[in-house]
Amino acid sequence: MLSRVSPGHTRNSATQIEKPQRARHYALGAPEQCSARSSLRNTGLRGSGAHELSCDRMLGGFASALRYELMLRNRQYAQGRLHVESYGEFPVIVYGPENGAHGNFYEPAYAAISGEPMWMRRFDKIHAQGRFLPKSLEDPGRRWRELDSSMSSDALLMNVFCAPGVTDSVAVKRLLGVDDEADEVVFGWKARVPLAKGRFDRTEVDMRWGNLLVEAKLTESDFQCREAALVEAYRDFEVVFDPALLPKIEMRTRRRREAVELAEEFTQEWEPPSEDAGEMARAFQAELEERADREQPTVSGYGSYQLIRNVLAAYSAGASFCVIHDERRPDLREAWFQVMAAVRNAEMRVRCRVLTWQELATVVPEGLREFLEVKYGIVAPGCEASAVDGAGDLD
């Protein structure tokens, strides 16, 4: 059965606002040292036949478990650093700048960012949920930025590639397949993806480094979904992809309604027949919502839109494209494999790559490697990250 999602729907790490919780701190554990050899995998065509994708599948355990672990790790790491916790059952730790440093960043990386105006401009983007976050007591007038969030994949990307020595490393360049002469790293690179009618989509790619475009992922639930008409409007869409192999979805054309909005069938005055009727009430509401979903008008669409768009951006730019994700997110890897399986252009297919943060951790400087372990739980493949209080609940 095809899934139904709202047009342009994106699920991210924003926390639902429930009730205030006081910040809690824990003692930091000692980071472990570990190194391992790894290599970037170029993945060719896999699988055949039409595919159907449920966007709801990616909302499950992998994303939630990683967010929970990052919450626990950052509660420890935030001790002694300027930060607040968002409201809700599973809060997000958000950091602020203080005394020339920033709690969400590896200090040498933040120093390099501060000295590069184009990199600092990435802090201009205001946090989408910032108005729901507590104000900083030290600087109540400052608005929270996207890069302040401990769940931000863009912050992780900049922590790694702005750190001194990373882009100069031959090992890092070989791992990513970057040309030796590549030097300038551009974050938020504006691509020009040709549309069928002569216009261009000025889409933003997370990073460009020489001949490589990068999409960075951490706790995001999926790669977004878009209407088929929008995706098929790209000039090179059928040159690069076999549409029959791409993930298909059905998208609602109206916002999904909750049971309480179906006033003709639901009332808050409904009285349960017994004290143990909570499950009955939930089943009743779920049935109302499911029936309303079935009655919603839909349009055809594609899943993993960001991947489709960025492959087209790389094709038009004559570049390679790599997705960097956490190894604790095999769901994102499978979604990327499904899109790669649909790339019919042989030249573009060999320019599609995948890498994990854990593999990248094997070739970064030692100080950055320790930072990634303590704050993100990212360690080289085959190694075990240092323990964090409450991590046993993840099981």
Per-residue pLDDT, 84: 93
Which range in 213-217, 271-275, 299-303 is most confidently predicted, on average pLDDT?
213-217
pLDDT at 34 over 90: no
DSSP 3-state of 339: helix
Q: What pTM value is reported for the model? A: 0.75
Question: Could you read off the pLDDT of 194-229 as tens digits, one per residue?
Answer: 999 889 998 899 999 999 999 999 999 999 999 999
Residue 267 has pLDDT above 70, yes or no: no
Is the pLDDT reported for residue 125 higher than 80? yes
Euclidean distance between the first and the last CA atom of the chain, given in angstroms as a whole number: 30
Tell me the residue ranges of DSSP E strands in the chain: 4-5, 41-42, 51-52, 83-85, 93-95, 97-98, 101-102, 185-190, 193-194, 200-201, 204-209, 212-216, 225-227, 247-252, 298-303, 320-325, 352-356
Which phi and psi (to 5°) does residue 130 adopt? -60, -35
Percent of the chain at pLDDT > 70 equals: 76
Using one digit for the tens of pLDDT, what is the confidence trace for 348-379? 999 999 999 999 999 999 999 999 999 999 99
User: Which residues make beta-bridge pairs with 61?
Assistant: none
Tell me the C-alpha distance between 70 and 63, whole Å: 11
Burial 104-127 (b: 16+ CB within 10 A, else e): bbbebbbbbbbeeeebeebbeeeb
